[in-house]
């Protein structure tokens, strides 16, 4: 609000809206009120923004945990699949060797 000396001067009629000081004081008072209103709005928006940032950070933590879980699961599955593939190759080599051996033998032609 206004300081005590200015308020007393206005109340005593020493500064009126008709003279320059009174008019400037009146305009300045309205400017201050408008700025206070803007500050209040900006403070509310800042508070809401901080709350939203906090919510997004929490969601990011949950999503990161989920991605990490999926990654761990995929690594385990990939390792199991790799082991299975190696085992299948071993099992495949034995019959393949037998087939090659049989194919290399000459088969007598029947007439």
Question: How is the chain split among helix, strand and coil, in percent rounded to 5?
Answer: 85, 0, 15
pLDDT in tens, 35-64: 999 999 999 999 999 999 999 999 999 999
pLDDT in tens, 66-103: 999 999 999 999 999 999 999 998 888 888 888 888 88
What are the boundaries of each domain within the chain?
Answer: 4-103
pLDDT at 11 over 90: no
Q: What tokens were used for 57?
A: 């950070």
Angle (CA) 4 8 9, round 5°? 120
For the entire predicted model, the pTM comes to: 0.50
């Amino acid at each position: 609000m206004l300081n005590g000396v200015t308020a007393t001067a206005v109340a005593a009629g020493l500064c009126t809206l008709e003279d320059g000081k009174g008019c400037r004081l009146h305009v300045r008072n309205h400017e201050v009120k408008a700025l206070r209103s803007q500050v209040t709005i900006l403070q509310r928006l800042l508070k809401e923004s901080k709350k939203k940032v906090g919510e997004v950070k929490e969601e990011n933590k949950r999503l990161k945990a989920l991605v990490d879980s999926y990654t761990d699961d995929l690594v385990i599955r990939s390792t199991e699949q790799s082991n299975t593939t190696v085992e299948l190759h071993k099992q495949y080599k034995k019959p393949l060797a037998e087939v090659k051996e049989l194919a290399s033998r000459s088969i007598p032609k029947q007439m």
